[in-house]
């Protein structure tokens, strides 16, 4: 490659970073917080609860606002405080008692260093997509095994199915073993692809949103599965069917693995 071609390539890479560099520069001013061992736990909890709260408000309003019932998969169901509070309590307890010590250990062994340059926009988008596809595959295998092997189901996964009609705060109502497995999948994928810290944050935000949306119980015209073409993305009704029938729709997001193994069931068929 001659010097002229190398110069053109450098310009293209620089232009790809230009879009994200101001955002990354702003985030790096909070480097003490981002590199703190407290940050992953605080970030995870605040993002999760922040995504859940709008759906909690909708559940409170739903009995009084008939229009909302059009978009609710189970129009006659609204979670009670006796269902909501244990779910929230379980999430907070597990993050403080189990997630934080693991984060502290990881921070002590290999403290994070923030690079000066932002990732290219294409690199961020492609890595987030790959992380989601990898997570979808890993969880599909894990999920299928835990439904096929009774001991695994009873020990690790049964807790998550205590709510046959999911709601937003039930997303992380799960055993410590299941939470740990999902955390390992997240961490391994980010390390495998050598993701930029900004890419990792973006992936975690997208992953948390998609999981909350899948359990929200609301199927809106702007829901993710309506935005992704060709039925590639299952969506909230797809995952709700898994909670009610147990033997189908094991992939958390995409539909290709369920199609290949014959475990896909259409929510419309219900």
pLDDT at site 9 = 41
Give the total number of structural domains in the chain.
1
Q: Is residue 218 part of a domain?
A: yes
Share of the chain above pLDDT 90, in %: 77
Q: Which two tokens stand for residue 18?
A: 């230009």
What 3-state DSSP class applies to 72?
strand
122-168 pLDDT, tens per residue? 999 999 999 999 999 999 999 999 999 999 999 999 999 998 889 99
Q: Cα–Cα distance between 179 and 198 in angstroms, integer?
A: 23
Q: Which two tokens stand for residue 43?
A: 């970030």
Helices 39-61/100-109 angle, 10° precision: 150
The answer to whether the beta carbons of residues 19 and 121 sit under 8 Å apart is: yes
Count of Cβ atoms closer than 10 Å to residue 156 Cβ: 21
Give the chain's mean pLDDT.
90
Q: Is residue 5 part of a domain?
A: no
Q: Is residue 7 part of a domain?
A: no
Q: Is residue 229 part of a domain?
A: yes
pLDDT at site 268 = 62
156-202 pLDDT, tens per residue? 999 999 988 899 999 999 999 999 999 999 989 999 999 999 999 99
DSSP 130: H
Share of the chain above pLDDT 70, in %: 92
Q: Report the greatest alpha carbon distance in the chain.
A: 69
Residue 140, domain extent: 41-65+76-110+118-261
DSSP string, 190-204: HHHTT--HHHHHHHH
Q: Is residue 28 part of a domain?
A: no
Q: Which two tokens stand for residue 195?
A: 């993701």
In order along its 270 residues, the chain shows pLDDT tens digits of 554 444 444 444 556 677 899 999 999 999 888 888 899 999 999 999 999 999 999 999 998 998 999 999 999 899 999 999 999 999 999 999 999 998 888 777 766 778 999 999 999 999 999 999 999 999 999 999 999 999 999 999 999 999 888 999 999 999 999 999 999 999 899 999 999 999 999 999 999 999 999 999 999 999 999 999 999 999 999 999 999 988 999 999 999 999 999 999 987 644
Q: Is residue 236 part of a domain?
A: yes
Q: Which long-range contacts (CB under 8 A, 24 or more apart) does 31-40 make?
A: 31/114, 34/112, 34/114, 34/197, 35/111, 35/112, 35/113, 35/114, 36/107, 37/100, 37/103, 37/104, 37/106, 37/107, 37/108, 38/100, 40/99, 40/103
Q: Is residue 153 part of a domain?
A: yes
């Amino acid at each position: 490659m001659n010097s002229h071609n190398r110069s053109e390539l450098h310009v293209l890479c620089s232009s790809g970073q230009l879009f994200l560099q101001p955002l990354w520069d702003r985030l790096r001013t909070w480097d003490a917080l981002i590199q703190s061992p407290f940050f992953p736990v605080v970030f995870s909890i605040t993002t999760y609860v922040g995504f859940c709260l709008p759906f909690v408000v909708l559940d409170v309003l739903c009995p009084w606002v008939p229009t909302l019932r059009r978009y609710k998969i189970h129009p006659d169901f609204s979670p009670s405080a006796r269902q909501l509070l244990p779910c929230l309590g379980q999430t907070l307890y597990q993050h403080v008692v189990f997630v934080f010590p693991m984060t502290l250990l990881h921070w002590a062994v290999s403290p994070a260093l923030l690079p000066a340059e932002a990732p290219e926009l294409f690199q961020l988008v492609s890595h987030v997509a790959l992380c989601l596809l990898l997570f979808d595959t890993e969880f599909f295998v894990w999920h299928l095994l835990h439904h096929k092997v009774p001991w695994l189901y009873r020990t690790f996964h049964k807790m998550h199915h205590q709510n046959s009609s999911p709601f937003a705060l039930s997303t992380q109502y799960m055993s410590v073993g299941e939470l740990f497995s999902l955390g390992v999948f997240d961490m391994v994928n980010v390390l495998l692809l050598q993701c930029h810290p900004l890419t990792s944050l973006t992936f975690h935000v997208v992953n948390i949103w998609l999981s909350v949306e899948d359990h929200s119980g609301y199927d809106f015209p702007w829901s993710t599965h309506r935005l992704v073409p060709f039925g590639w993305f299952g969506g909230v009704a797809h995952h709700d069917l898994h909670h009610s029938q147990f033997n189908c729709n094991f992939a958390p997001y995409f539909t290709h693995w369920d199609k290949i193994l014959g475990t896909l069931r259409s929510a419309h068929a219900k």
